Amino acid sequence: MTLFRQFFSAQFKGLLIWMAVGALYAFAGTRSAAPFIEGNALATIPPALLAMFGDMAGLGATDMYLTVILGKGTLLIPTLYAVIVALSIVTREVDRRTVEFLLALPVQRTQVLTARVAVLFVNITAVTGAIWAVLRYDMAAQGFAGTWSHLNMLFLNLWLLAIALAAITLAVSMWIDDYSVGVKLFLGIVTLGFFMEYVLKGATVSRAGRLLSPFSYVDLGGVMHSGSIAAGDLIVLIAAIAAGLAVSFRAFDRKQFSA
């Protein structure tokens, strides 16, 4: 518990900032909803553009708006945060040399990583949850009736994606000792991946052609339609989490901390 508390307190200020950014971004979206939903402005968006967010046909106006709000960038916030926290777990400690202070204590490396991965899960949940809460309850407070159970599932999908990206980042970070290099690299990859997904969708590249695109594993329109995550997406995300964590624990246990 001491190791958990220490890393949580180290991340606390960042957590509050990212929760605030996510909540404010979502709040700006919910407060702009009325003209789109009541004024039927969504109908003026070209179908090809809407299709970039998934299959929107048949969705109610509120559900369609929520899907677009998420697709417009809200989706990006928990994933970027996930990558930053993942890089803080080991790479930042190595870069700032505090890892010596930590590993000189009588703890097993597995204990250190377990506590930190637990913080990672909690914090990603908090940031994703803050966005979800604003979208869910501020839309409802304004009298919009969405299919909330489907929205919940969409956020579960988003949470899994953020965790998967964090797990993969953590695994790769075991070979990166420079924090600023890691941050630039992974924020670049995630941001590029986010926009590439829409470029590829806009170019009507098939799902098979987008297998390496991380954001293809959150099918916004599909989940809002069905209220469930596609089995294939679920399997890939869970497998990525499991593999990322397995590699991370193994690599951290064997990592050599030279001068």
Partner 1 sequence: MQAIQAEGLTRLYRNGRGIRSVNLEVRQGEVFGFLGPNGAGKTTLIRTLLGFLHPQAGKVQMLGLDAISQSRAVRSRVGYLPSDPALYDFLTGQQNLDFALAVRGVKDRSRVKALADRLEIDLKRRLKTLSRGNKQKVAIVAALAHDPDLIILDEPTSGLDPLVQETFGQLIREEQARGKTVFMSSHVLSEVETLCDRVAVIRDGQIVTVDQVENLKKQRVKYVTAEFREAAPNLAQVAGVRDFQADGRKARFTFHGGIDPLIRELAQRSLVDLTVADPPLEEVFRAFYEGGGGGR
Q: How far apart are CA 255 and CA 232, in angstroms?
A: 33
Orientation angle between helical segments 76-89 and 2-31, nearest 10 degrees: 160
Verify binding: residue 257, partner 1, rule CB under 8 A: yes
Q: DSSP character for 44?
A: G
Q: How far apart are CA 59 and CA 150, in angstroms?
A: 11
Q: Hey, which residues between 45 and 104 contact partner 1 (CB under 8 A)?
A: 96-98, 100-101, 103-104
Nearest to 226, CA basis, from 71, 75, 36, 67: 67
C-beta closer to partner 1: residue 212 or 259: 259
Q: Out of 16, 24, 105, 235, which residue is the one contacting partner 1 (CB under 8 A)?
A: 105
C-beta closer to partner 1: residue 103 or 247: 103
Q: Minimum distance from CB of 106 to partner 1 (Å)? A: 4
Q: Minimum distance from CB of 45 to partner 1 (Å)? A: 45
Q: Minimum distance from CB of 75 to partner 1 (Å)? A: 30
Q: How far apart are CA 196 and CA 193, in angstroms?
A: 5
Q: DSSP character for 210?
A: G
Q: Minimum distance from CB of 142 to partner 1 (Å)? A: 40
C-beta closer to partner 1: residue 11 or 67: 11
Q: Minimum distance from CB of 259 to partner 1 (Å)? A: 5
Alpha helix locations (H) across 106-230?
109-141, 148-173, 179-202, 220-226
Q: How far apart are CA 200 and CA 185, in angstroms?
A: 21
The CA-atom distances, in angstroms, between 44 and each of 41, 77, 203 are: 5, 27, 21
Q: How far apart are CA 41 and CA 35, in angstroms?
A: 7
Total residue length of the chain: 259
Verify binding: residue 6, partner 1, rule CB under 8 A: yes
C-beta closer to partner 1: residue 40 or 110: 110
C-beta closer to partner 1: residue 2 or 180: 2
C-beta closer to partner 1: residue 94 or 161: 94
Q: Minimum distance from CB of 112 to partner 1 (Å)? A: 10
Which of the ranges 2-10, 19-27, 57-65, 163-171 carries the binding residues for partner 1, by CB under 8 A? 2-10
C-beta closer to partner 1: residue 117 or 154: 117
Binding residues for partner 1 (CB under 8 A): 2-3, 6, 9-10, 96-98, 100-101, 103-108, 254, 256-259
